Structure 1
Amino acid sequence: MSTIVATPDSDLSLPTLPLSEILPCAIFGGLLMLLAIYFVGAEQGATSVFSGMYVHEFVHDGRHLLGFPCH
């Protein structure tokens, strides 16, 4: 019977990403999250962007799931 012994590499390091590469994606993702929260939480009444109840009915269950009152 043979035994295999693994030796760890001493030159093993994690790659680092500079902030300048991460920042545009983080800002874009944050803006998308704010837009989603607006449509789920505030798209009705005086601040409505679209007329009618289409957006409200589309995100109705999400409003209840996140705890926003709607009726």
Structure 2
Amino acid sequence: MFVATRSAPREIDTIKARDAIIAGLLVVGALFLLYAMFLDQGGLLAPFFGSEAFTNNYLHEFAHDARHLLALPCH
């Protein structure tokens, strides 16, 4: 005798995909912040302030004390 059983439909596991996307965005955001804080010499603000961003170095000066606090050289 054959008895047909119905299995419950499986829900697509979107939680893992969402978590992977969020983790990837956080990594990209952290890398961008590290670049802006430690490596930028005016290039990120140049579209907004022009050549003045290179001479005044706004992001560099904003993060200057944090660089020294973390024992990272900046000059």
Shorter-normalised TM-score: what interval?
Answer: 0.5 to 0.7
Unaligned runs of 5+ in 1: 1-16
- Do residues 63 (structure 1) and 60 (structure 2) align? no
Identity %: 33
Question: Residues 7-52 of structure 1, C-alpha deviation per residue, up to 9 Å, x if partnerless?
Answer: xxxxxxxxxx8421201110111011001110111112xxx41323
Compute the TM-score of the two structures, normalised by the length of structure 1. 0.60
Larger helix fraction of residues: 2
Compute the TM-score of the two structures, normalised by the length of structure 2. 0.57
Unaligned runs of 5+ in 2: 1-13, 46-53
Q: 2:16 aligns with which of 14, 19, 29?
A: 19
Map of 2:8 onto structure 1: none
* Number of aligned residues: 52
Distance 1:43 1:68 in 2: 14
The CA deviation at 1:61 is 1.4
